[in-house]
Chains A and B, each alone.
Chain A
Amino acid sequence: MTHQDPVRRRDFLKTTGVLTGLLAAGSPWALLAPSRAWAVDLAAFTSSEGEALMAMARTIAPHDKLEDAAYAIVIQAVDGEAGRDANLLKLFRDGVASLGSAFAGASETERVEWLGKIESGAFFQTMRVKTLQFLYSTPMAYAHFGYEGEAFSKGGYLYRGFNDLRWLPEVPLADSGPVPVSG
């Protein structure tokens, strides 16, 4: 991966790797971000290790229309944890090495087959949990899956659709209760 300007910044941050990509054209994130290009610095992993882990995360949870940036956030979080935990770093390093250099560029069918062979091991199991833990917490995932999240600042869902389902009958009042008009 080639870069010009991030190099000095990476030295300053003592990073060892970087993941980069472009937000999809027309993505809501592209409208908000100053530029469609994104870069995530890695402190523990090299760029090629990061790319292999990113391919692994996409194989574990393949959502075709979910931004690469969401998966990069997963790798950034894992990188942070590995930087604080030498055992975890070794687990990931050795695991990525065992996948081989062709993994990141392989087809999904091949990646699934390779991961299936190491599925019962600690490396895959740890990466599976980390992927689920971090991926579905990203703002990109919230938007992609339609999850609206934090509710208090918007007055809860009481007047924002908690009972707006119309494809089934309404529940009789005797088995439910009145919607409060005011407290």
Chain B
Amino acid sequence: MAGFDLNDDGVVVIIGSGAGGGTLAHELTRRGIKVVLLEAGARQSVATFTQVPGDAFVQLSWLDPRTQSGTWSVAREFPTLPSWTCKTVGGTTVHWTATTPRIREWEVRARTVYGDIPGTSLIDWPIKFAELKNYYNLAERRLGVTRRNGIPGLPASNNFKVMYAGAKKLGYKRVHTNYLAINPRARDGRGFCIQQGFCLQGCTTMAKWSTLYAEIPRAEATGNLDLRTQSMATRIEHGEDGRVNGVVYRDAQGQEQRQKARIVCVAGNAIETARLLLSSASGKFPQGLANSSDQVGRNYMHHVSAFVWGIFNQPVHFWRGAVLAGVIEDETLNEPKRGFVSGYHLELASMDLPTIPLVGLPYGWGRDFASIMEDYRNFAGMLVLGEDMPQSGNRITLDADVKDANGLPVAHVHVDDHPNDAALRKHAQDQGVKLYEALDAKRVIRGNTTPAAHNMGTARMSADPRDGVTNAWGQTHDIKNLFVSDGSVFSTSGSANPTLTIVALVLRQAEYISRQMSARAI
């Protein structure tokens, strides 16, 4: 691994080592570009992962304080945890469930297809689906996605057998063990899935793709990567010419450091990315960096998500096996006669015993609550995942009162449900309830909306600079050598789990950055 000088102004600084930052680091370093990769968290490995859920939660999660407001139920039920993402090398790819559907062709034309929905700030993506598709092909090969490119699907688990039987009773046709970046066979130097059920705690066979062991070690092997762990970026600096020229961060010892940079790429996950751009405000950019449009932090999207649990008279043992290895795609379409625009996936879901009463089940206590838990063996489960509407007022701002350990304002997350989100959620949960009732479930529980796993839109791509923060390559409209390299750039959320799209966009961005550097344009 390389060590570059703090005053080396020829390096690209990438902030965050998850799906976006970790993949970008590999793509740039293998092209001979020097990269300093700043990661706020520590480095774990298969040797340090734990399958004690509470310990894994503390080991991997981003738990720095945040504040919340808005009508979204998460603001009431999880006031200190609006989003459940990671603070560790590999970022959220360490605890993701590796679900890798593509965004649909019509979803990248959301404004055109859905029309003028009151209260939304819908736009079309500034990128054609036909072009995105080429990068999906590359990303799927890179990640080894099941059911694509000749890679078989995962075998059916008990939980999926229940989903499948119920789906067939409802007449659903597109039901299978999902597109997953999980090896059904050993591949690419990583092991195969032994159905542990601990996807969220770090995959100990590395069957699940993560930048922690799939991309970052290869970037290190090029000799062009300087990975600095427990290094929290606090400010991006710029020169008189308005171009960014360095990043200030706290190192593992808590000392402030300043790394010079030729290019800066922000990949801190949509909440922290917006926070960093806003907190880097200066005399020249009083609203924050890349924010002349006032769109940084706005249009925050998190997907409509909620659980449905079916409780049966016989055991399912749903914790055994890959967590999200199942999907129903029949509702992934735009059919406004359902009472809402856009679509959703019904994805398989399970949850370990310690976590489900805290996160999966609706608020409760006493005999009724306990009777639900008594049937834990007999649970089947699914997760509703649908497109949510961008709204200008759903946004990340800097909290005026609460500061983090470094004395910097924490992110404040404001989310109001849009009527379209609520209608979609109701329809999707109703379908889940019907599915389990068709199999004579003893009881069906409409579960919680959990802290957001997917964060998008806070520095969105836009054709018109007034509508967003970056162009179609994640390059900010305002500052040529400042890029955004994570889900923040999504123009709309689509109904697909975002990681595959983040990787596809970053593969495309890396080509662009490399070309622009060669041409001395940046």
Contact = CB atoms under 8 A, between A and B. Distances in A.
- 6 shortest interchain CB distances as A-B pairs: A156-B194, A177-B153, A157-B320, A176-B156, A165-B158, A171-B156
Interface string B374-411: 10110000000000000000000000000000000000
B160 interface: yes
B358 interface: yes
A133 B53 CA distance: 11
Given A175-B175, A176-B156, A152 B353 contact: no
B366 A183 contact: no
Interface string B180-215: 000011100001111111100000110000000000
Interface string B346-381: 000000111011100000011101100110110000
Given A136-B373, A161-B158, A162-B195, 12 more contacts: A59-B365, A112-B366, A129-B358, A137-B53, A148-B320, A152-B196, A161-B317, A161-B320, A169-B161, A177-B146, A177-B154, A177-B156
Nearest to B369: A61
Contacts of A133: 54, 354, 358
Given A60-B366, A133-B54, A136-B353, A180 B184 contact: yes
B185 A163 contact: no
Contacts of A150: 51-52
A14 interface: no
B162 A177 contact: no
A141 to B, nearest CB: 7
B164 interface: yes
Contacts of A142: 353
A28 interface: no
Find the residue from B155, B176, B205 having the highest chain A CB count within 10 A. B155
14 contacts: A59-B365, A59-B366, A61-B370, A128-B365, A149-B352, A151-B320, A157-B194, A157-B321, A165-B162, A168-B162, A168-B165, A175-B156, A178-B155, A183-B185
B439 interface: yes
A20 B319 CA distance: 33
A33 B187 CA distance: 45
B152 A163 contact: no
B495 interface: no
A170 to B, nearest CB: 7
Contacts of A5: none
Interface string A91-125: 00000000000000000000010010000000000
Contacts of B51: 149-152
B184 A177 contact: yes
B17 interface: no
Contact of A145 (B186, B196, B353, B365): B353
A158 interface: yes
A147 B156 CA distance: 20
A161 B17 CA distance: 36
A146 interface: yes
B370 A63 contact: yes
Contacts of A137: 52-54, 353-354
A26 interface: no
Given A136-B354, A147-B353, A148-B320, A162 B177 contact: no
A85 interface: no
Nearest to A149: B51
Given A136-B354, A168-B165, A178 B152 contact: yes
A180 B370 CA distance: 38
Interface residues of A, number: 46
Contacts of A128: 365
Interface residues of B, number: 57
Contacts of A183: 185-186, 191-192
B316 interface: yes
A160 interface: yes
A179 B321 CA distance: 12
A124 B340 CA distance: 39
A34 interface: no
Main secondary structure of the interface of B (DSSP, over half): loop
Q: Which of A164, A167, A177 has the most CB of B within 10 A?
A: A177
Interface string B290-311: 0000000000000000000000
A56 B146 CA distance: 48
B332 interface: no
B137 interface: no
A180 B357 contact: no
Contacts of B192: 180, 183
A39 interface: no
Interface string B148-180: 000011111110111011000000000111000
Contacts of A174: 176
Interface string B22-33: 000000000000
B71 interface: no
A62 interface: yes
Contact of B373 (A145, A152, A156, A164): A145
A7 interface: no
Contacts of B374: 63, 145
B282 interface: no
Contacts of A129: 358
B370 A163 contact: no
A148 B197 CA distance: 11
A129 to B, nearest CB: 7
Given A63-B373, A151-B198, A165 B161 contact: yes
A147 B374 CA distance: 11
A60 B154 CA distance: 39
A162 B157 contact: yes
A132 interface: yes
Contact of A141 (B164, B176, B353): B353
Nearest to B365: A60
A59 B364 CA distance: 12
B81 to A, nearest CB: 12
B185 A180 contact: yes
